[in-house]
Amino acid sequence: MTKYSFKNDYSEGAHPAILQRIIETNLQQTVGYGEDIFCNEARALIKEYIQRDSAIHFVSGGTQANLIVIAAILRPYESVIAAESGHIAVHETGAIEATGHKVNTINTDNGKINPSQIQEVLNQHTDEHMVKPKMVYISNSTEVGSVYSKSELTELYQFCQENNLYLFVDGARLGSALTSSTCDLTLEDLANLSDVFYIGGTKNGALIGEAIIINNQDLNENFRFHIKQRGGMLAKGRLIGIQFAELFKNNLFFEMGIHANAMAKKLADGISTKGFNFLNEPSSNQIFPILPNHLINQLQERFEFFVWQKIDEDSSAIRLVTSWATPEHQVDNFLNQL
């Protein structure tokens, strides 16, 4: 029997509407390298949401987006500040360092960083014998499922501007973050409150693809050279253009986030009802319930998920991830096992 997987939000292919559009446009000839009509259609649709004339580039994955953006913006001696749990700090096999840059890390409780923590890092970097921190990297939602509020982001961006730091938001799971009930941010807000961010397609219903949005025009200079140099420029760039056009038509991107969050909330509520706690407050499509080990063992016979962290001898936190594709009946099945 196949186990249903709550391991991640990239277990399935793509939303059917996206596949449909790929098929319909299949034999239409286009120019290559992201300058085709589909990419431009996607750009226009995104710009309606953000209400800015930001530069928009499409690449195939999150690590690629991160390394291209950071390597493009920083000078060799400049570093980027991130949470210790940040994707670039841990889970990219040193991709940022491979482009020559140090990641200065901040220890956090909930995956989010704030101005006073950044100030501490700045205080430690005083002269040319040390790197010069020049960018702040945050993920929204974070790697542990938390989301930034509008006031938190506003405060962060203001601090960055006052301190000549660029703010870059990794939006691999932005769909879930922006539609979280605990989040009061819009895509337009995000564009106004960051220098660069990217919108994750891979983890929100696309086959592949992330859209890099450069709000600070200075940072867009010759950006396409950087994409090409790092191997991120697809000959058939149309593939990502078509998908993002579909994602931002008819609100599909947000509707998928809403569904993922609803499934996560149903899981969380059910788990909570049974009297279990969480590693941190459930707020997006990743939740981290703490369960007895014997129950975890039982659940593993029917479901796949990550055991995240040992809590004590008898219990552990697990990670459950939902997506646009999570069927409600599998959520029910899971809850029925508790």
- Residues 189-228 contacting a second copy, CB under 8 A: 202-203, 207-208, 222, 224-228
Residue number, 52 or 302, with CB nearest to a second copy? 302
CA-CA-CA-CA torsion sign (112, 116, 121, 125): positive
Residues with Cβ within 8 Å of 134's Cβ and at least 6 positions away in sequence, in order, are 73, 74, 75, 78, 79, 80, 164, 165, 166
Between residue 158 and residue 187, which ones bind a second copy under the rule CB under 8 A?
none
* φ, ψ for residue 70, nearest 5 deg: -70, -45
DSSP state of 130: S
Total residues binding a second copy (CB under 8 A)? 77
Q: How far is the CB of 86 from a second copy (least distance, A)?
A: 13
**Please, what is the minimum distance in Å from the beta carbon of residue 170 to a second copy?**
13
Residue from 1, 116, 123, 129 touching a second copy (CB under 8 A): that is 129
Question: Is position 75 an interface residue for a second copy (rule: CB under 8 A)?
Answer: yes
Helical axes 16-24 vs 238-247, angle rounded to 10°: 130
Q: How far is CA 309 from CA 4, 85, 273, 301, in A?
A: 21, 14, 22, 19
Give the residue among 137, 47, 62 at the shortest CA–CA distance from 92: 62
Segment 47 to 66, residues that bind a second copy, using CB under 8 A:
60-66
- DSSP labels for 226-269? HHHHTT---TTTHHHHHHHHHHTSTTHHHHHHHHHHHHHHHHHH
Indicate the residue among 32 and 292 with the shorter CB distance to a second copy: 32
User: Interface with a second copy by CB under 8 A: which range of 70-78, 181-189, 250-258, 314-322?
Assistant: 70-78
Question: Does 5 contact a second copy by CB under 8 A?
Answer: yes
Which among 2-10, 136-144, 257-265, 294-302 is the span making contact with a second copy, rule CB under 8 A? 2-10
Using CB under 8 A as the binding rule, whether residue 16 contacts a second copy is answered as yes
Looking at the chain, list the stretches that DSSP marks H as alpha helix, in order from N- to C-terminal side.
Answer: 16-24, 37-50, 62-73, 87-90, 95-98, 115-124, 150-162, 174-178, 187-192, 223-229, 238-247, 252-273, 293-300, 328-336
Binding-site member from 31, 120, 273, 310 for a second copy (CB under 8 A): 31
Residue 33 or 276: which CB sits closer to a second copy? 33
Is residue 180 within 8 Å of residue 284, measured between CB atoms?
yes
Q: Please tell me whether residue 27 binds a second copy under the rule CB under 8 A.
A: yes
Q: Which stretch binds a second copy (CB under 8 A): 14-22, 42-50, 175-183, 250-258?
A: 14-22
The yes or no reply on residue 131 touching a second copy (CB under 8 A) is: yes
Q: Which of 12, 188, 269, 314 binds a second copy (CB under 8 A)?
A: 12
In the complex, least distance from residue 272 CB atom to a second copy, rounded to whole angstroms: 26
Question: Contact at 8 Å (CB) between 331 and 266?
Answer: yes
- Cα–Cα distance between 137 and 85 in angstroms, integer? 11
Binding segment toward a second copy, per CB under 8 A, in 30-38, 158-166, 178-186, 282-290: 30-38
Tell me how far apart the terminal alpha carbons of the chain are, to the nearest angstrom.
20
Which residue, 29 or 275, is less far from a second copy as judged by CB?
29
> Stretches 24-32, 40-48, 50-58, 161-169: which one binds a second copy (CB under 8 A)?
24-32
Does 111 contact a second copy by CB under 8 A?
Answer: no
* Closest to a second copy by CB, 126 or 336: 126
Kindly state whether residue 92 participates in binding a second copy, applying the rule CB under 8 A. yes
- Token output for 218: 């200075």
Q: Which of 50, 95, 187, 331 binds a second copy (CB under 8 A)?
A: 95
